[in-house]
């Protein structure tokens, strides 16, 4: 019941992504990545720490919650903007399209609208790069269309196994290059080596 009320509260508030202004780097993650509380705010240990480092090097940084999120604005470190209403609207409309025209048509409609949403967001702040935790297809598509590099910041162990689908080579091989980030930012050489065999074919970088 608490989750239901949390969802209602999240979508009852106006999205704030329209308030974005220019930044050098846009950070994107969700509530699941904010596993720590720092000074009363939810904190994403990996990506928020990187954001602080970028700011120390005189780069401007903004943050967005790239999935349905309760921890936005002043509730989270970096004051991430929200896209909750738009994400729910797209999901509901895609469901209706699926019911009328079929699942494939619904999926295509959803992917098209998500890409346009992210193009709108990126056009607002025109970052030189986006660093995200497992960026979704819509964000990656938008970045490729606009020439803005999207990077995935490793957030857990990378294993070439079916139970880790985001990094599973079989899954990566099947996807179009534009559905994937431009590059992967890994913790160490061992993690990077898991992705190296398919970097040339998909033309993404591993660092």
pLDDT digits (tens, 9 = 90+) for 20-33: 999 999 999 999 89
Q: How far is CA 128 from CA 23, 32, 66, 145, in A?
A: 8, 26, 18, 14
For tokens 């162990």, the residue is 157
Query: In this structure, are residues 17 and 72 in contact, taking their beta carbons and an 8 Å threshold?
Result: no
| pLDDT above 80 (res 196) | no
pLDDT tens by residue, 64-123: 998 888 899 999 999 999 999 999 999 999 999 999 999 999 999 999 999 999 999 999
Report the predicted TM-score, pTM, of the whole model to 2 decimal places: 0.89
Query: In this structure, are residues 49 and 34 in contact, taking their beta carbons and an 8 Å threshold?
Result: no
Q: Measured between alpha carbons, how far is 136 from 95 in angstroms, rounded to an integer?
A: 19
At how many degrees (to 10) do helices 103-125 and 84-101 cross?
A: 160
């Amino acid at each position: 019941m608490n989750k239901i009320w949390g969802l209602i509260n999240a979508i009852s508030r106006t999205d704030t992504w329209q308030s974005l202004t220019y930044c050098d780097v846009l950070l994107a993650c969700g509530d699941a990545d904010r596993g720590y509380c720092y000074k009363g705010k939810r904190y994403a240990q990996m990506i928020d720490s990187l954001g602080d480092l970028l700011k120390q090097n005189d780069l401007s940084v903004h943050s967005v919650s790239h999935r349905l999120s309760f921890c936005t604005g002043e509730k989270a470190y970096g004051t991430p903007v929200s896209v909750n209403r738009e994400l729910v609207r797209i999901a509901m409309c895609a469901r209706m399209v699926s019911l009328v025209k079929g699942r494939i048509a619904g999926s295509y409609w959803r992917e098209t609208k998500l890409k346009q949403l992210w193009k709108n967001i990126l056009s607002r702040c025109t970052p030189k790069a986006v660093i995200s935790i497992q960026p979704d297809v819509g964000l990656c598509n938008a970045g490729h269309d606009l020439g803005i590099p999207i990077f995935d910041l490793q957030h857990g162990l990378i294993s070439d196994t079916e139970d880790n689908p985001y990094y599973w080579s079989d899954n990566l091989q099947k996807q179009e290059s534009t559905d994937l980030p431009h590059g992967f930012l890994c913790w160490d050489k061992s993690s990077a080596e898991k992705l190296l065999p398919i970097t040339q074919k998909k033309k993404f970088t591993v660092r």
